[in-house]
């Protein structure tokens, strides 16, 4: 029950660190994970993605408090409670984020985390299959994480790209490469027809090493002696035990559970800890603050041709597709069905994209409830950089109690204007000639919703989380009172303790967060091992030359 490094969490960042810290065989590593196995078709079959994130077996089942600006709705906040963490229950969409996202991190105190610094880690972690076997100055080809593209066989995928072009927007061959802005193919962490989670990419290969061990347990708190983290207090099989870290304890428990664990251990806002009778080890007011997420709407259009995935929305078809996937790892079951994407700028003067689209050839909710109207298609759309901020706080000092989560969605006036623009922009794209052969009536929001007031009502009732929570233990300069970790991921105010996962993001990145979370684990591993970081790569990302004067 002791090792050089003890990692809490086997998710996107945790599995990557377990792999890298145990790689040279010099150090012993223990990974603590509460969740169980990821075996079985619900997780491994890409098209079944709506199941695991709503199954208590795989998901912590968190919900936000009633959101004051969304009519008091409580929004689901799924986090993976399984080997591989949220990478085992997510939508498998792979987005790095925009180059300028990381330059913003650097400029807000995360020195060494600019795009030039993180690009080598994005390349080290991936095996990219979008370039006919060739890498580039932007992409890697021999990392553990396979990144592929769907077949885009359904004609609606191409219609979406063509419509974007007809609306005056650029096309991009690779939004994870030189040019994020525009319409193009979407990338997925799917390999040979299976979900390529960090459990498959990193943890399974690493567990074959003698120096890595996985322990199933609940991490209750960090053991801190004389200002130094020496281990983790855990509970398993009803008994409380200690796991000792000879070198360091590393938290990678998610943007919801990592701040909870810090606060239970006495690291956080002193007044809040005192409310729960927790002795203060380090007064860090930033712990649990700065919570960010992406909200999105599903803009749904009826389809006049019976070509959408709705034709498979019956038990017989699902059984057939399931069997095809089970025996051959092929067919519709082998893709997450998010195969076309777009990253756009909302208006002139915005330098890089602040709107994301996922396109889907069916009208369906994320939880798998199909639209009653039958054949349809939809775009998931939302602003990328909301100014709204929330918080994660303790409900009690009991480690088994869910934390209190308030996102404070739509609390900034700009969010409403941004979302209304997203709806109107999507209508403009769906109205292009490319959709003429397919376009039926608008299912959602519906043609009656045209005024600002009507659109606001729709947003209030229907905006959903894209499940990208982050920012609750942000990285920053060691003398920044609101920073929780320094640029080497060391928790400020406690020795021998690091934290590396999406909670360190100072500001949310463009797109889905699994990719940057894995990158954080990769880069943190080098800091933990005391290695010189990979050399910076100064490539110039494409910025639209018309960004000052036009949105397209």
Rounded Cα distance, 489 and 483, in Å: 11
**215 annotated ligand binder:** no
**288 annotated ligand binder:** no
**15 annotated ligand binder:** yes
**22 annotated ligand binder:** yes
In the beta sheet, which residues pair with residue 228?
Answer: 225, 495
Report cis status (omega within 30 of 0) of the bond before 445: yes
**240 annotated ligand binder:** no
**28 annotated ligand binder:** yes
**21 annotated ligand binder:** yes
**23 annotated ligand binder:** yes
Report yes or no: 137 and 537 within 8 Å, Cβ to Cβ: yes
Q: Which secondary structure element, helix H or strand E, spans residue 242, and what is its range? A: strand 239-251
**90 annotated ligand binder:** yes
**8 annotated ligand binder:** yes
**192 annotated ligand binder:** no
Estimate the crossing angle of helix 115-125 against helix 99-107, to 10 degrees.
130
For the CA atoms of 528, 531, 532, 535, the dihedral, rounded to the nearest 10 degrees, stands at -90
Q: Which residue has the tokens 């906040």?
A: 77
**373 annotated ligand binder:** no
**32 annotated ligand binder:** yes
Q: Which residues are catalytic?
A: 468
**280 annotated ligand binder:** no
- Helix (H) and strand (E) counts for the chain? 13, 25
**1 annotated ligand binder:** no
Q: What region does 7 belong to: left with phi over 0, alpha with psi -120 to 50, or beta?
A: beta
- Alpha carbons within 13 angstroms on the beta-carbon side of residue 441 total 7
Helix residue spans in 280-403 (DSSP H): 315-328
**11 annotated ligand binder:** yes
**25 annotated ligand binder:** yes
SS3 for 508?
coil
Which residues in 87-236 belong to E strands, given as ranges?
126-128, 145-149, 182-185, 187-188, 190-191, 194-195, 212-216, 218-225, 228-236
SS3 for 208?
coil
**33 annotated ligand binder:** yes
**203 closest CA partner among 96, 87, 89:** 87
**253 annotated ligand binder:** no
Phi (first) and psi of residue 350, to 5 degrees: -90, 120
**26 annotated ligand binder:** yes
Report yes or no: 509 and 520 within 8 Å, Cβ to Cβ: no
Residue 172 CB partners (closer than 8 Å, separation 6+): 179, 180, 181, 182, 183, 184, 343
**164 annotated ligand binder:** no
Q: Which residue has the tokens 């997420």?
A: 293
**14 annotated ligand binder:** yes
**7 annotated ligand binder:** yes
**31 annotated ligand binder:** yes
Residue 40 CB partners (closer than 8 Å, separation 6+): none
Q: Which secondary structure element, helix H or strand E, spans residue 406, and what is its range? A: strand 404-406
Report yes or no: 340 and 169 within 8 Å, Cβ to Cβ: no
Rounded Cα distance, 513 and 293, in Å: 10
C-alpha distances (whole Å) from 74 to each of 47, 415, 457, 461, 524 are 27, 19, 17, 11, 34
Phi (first) and psi of residue 118, to 5 degrees: -90, -25
**93 annotated ligand binder:** yes
**238 annotated ligand binder:** no
Local structure of residue 255 (DSSP, 8 states): H
**95 annotated ligand binder:** no
Report yes or no: 167 and 432 within 8 Å, Cβ to Cβ: yes
**296 annotated ligand binder:** no
Binding site for FAD, by residue number, is 4-33, 82, 90-93
Binding site, by residue number, is 4-33, 82, 90-93
């Amino acid at each position: 029950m002791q090792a050089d490094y003890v990692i809490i969490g086997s998710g996107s960042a945790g599995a990557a660190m377990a792999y890298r810290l145990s790689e040279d065989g010099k150090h012993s590593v223990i990974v603590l994970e509460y969740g169980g196995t990821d075996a079985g078709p619900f997780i491994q079959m890409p098209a079944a993605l709506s199941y695991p994130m709503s199954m208590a077996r795989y998901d912590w089942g968190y919900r936000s408090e009633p959101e004051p600006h969304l009519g008091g709705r409580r929004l689901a906040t799924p986090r993976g409670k399984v080997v591989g963490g949220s990478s085992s229950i997510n939508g498998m969409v792979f987005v790095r984020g925009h180059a300028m996202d990381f330059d913003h991190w650097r400029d807000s105190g995360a020195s060494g985390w600019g795009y030039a610094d993180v690009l080598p880690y994005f390349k080290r972690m991936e095996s990219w299959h979008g370039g006919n076997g060739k890498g580039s100055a932007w992409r890697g080809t021999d990392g553990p994480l396979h990144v592929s593209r769907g077949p885009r066989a359904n004609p609606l995928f191409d219609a979406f790209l063509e419509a974007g072009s007809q609306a005056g927007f650029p096309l991009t061959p690779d939004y994870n490469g030189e040019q994020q802005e525009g319409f193009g193919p979407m990338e997925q962490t799917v390999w040979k027809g299976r979900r390529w989670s960090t459990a498959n990419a990193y943890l399974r290969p690493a567990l074959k090493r003698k120096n890595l061990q996985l322990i199933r347990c609940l991490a209750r708190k960090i053991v801190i002696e004389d200002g130094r983290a020496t281990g983790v207090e855990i509970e398993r099989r009803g008994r409380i035990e200690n796991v000792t870290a000879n070198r360091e304890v590393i938290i990678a428990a998610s943007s919801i559970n990592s701040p909870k664990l810090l606060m239970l251990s006495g690291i956080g806002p002193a007044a809040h800890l005192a409310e729960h009778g927790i002795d203060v080890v380090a007064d860090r007011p930033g712990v649990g603050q700065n919570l960010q997420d992406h909200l999105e709407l599903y803009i749904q259009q009826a389809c006049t041709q019976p070509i959408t995935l709705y034709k498979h929305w019956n038990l017989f078809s699902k059984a057939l597709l399931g069997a095809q996937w089970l025996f051959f790892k092929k067919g519709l079951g082998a893709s997450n069905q998010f195969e076309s994407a777009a990253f756009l700028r909302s208006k002139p003067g915005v330098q890089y994209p602040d709107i994301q689209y996922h396109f889907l050839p069916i009208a369906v909710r994320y939880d798998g409830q199909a639209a009653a109207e039958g054949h349809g298609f939809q775009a998931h759309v939302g602003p990328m950089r909301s100014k709204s901020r929330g918080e994660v706080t303790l409900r009690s000092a009991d480690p088994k109690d869910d934390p209190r989560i308030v996102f404070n969605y739509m609390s900034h006036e700009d969010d409403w204007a941004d979302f209304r623009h997203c709806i109107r922009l999507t209508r403009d794209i769906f109205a292009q000639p490319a959709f003429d052969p397919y376009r039926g009536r608008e299912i959602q929001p519906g043609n009656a919703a045209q005024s600002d007031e009507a659109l606001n009502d729709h947003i209030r009732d229907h905006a959903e989380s894209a499940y990208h929570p982050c920012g609750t233990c942000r990285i920053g300069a060691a003398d920044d009172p609101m920073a929780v970790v320094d640029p080497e991921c060391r928790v400020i105010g406690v020795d021998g303790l690091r934290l590396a996962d999406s909670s360190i993001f100072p500001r949310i990145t463009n797109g889905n967060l699994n990719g940057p979370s894995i990158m954080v684990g990769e880069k943190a591993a080098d800091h933990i091992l005391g290695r010189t970081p990979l050399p910076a790569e100064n490539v110039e990302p494409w910025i639209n030359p018309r960004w000052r004067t036009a949105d397209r």
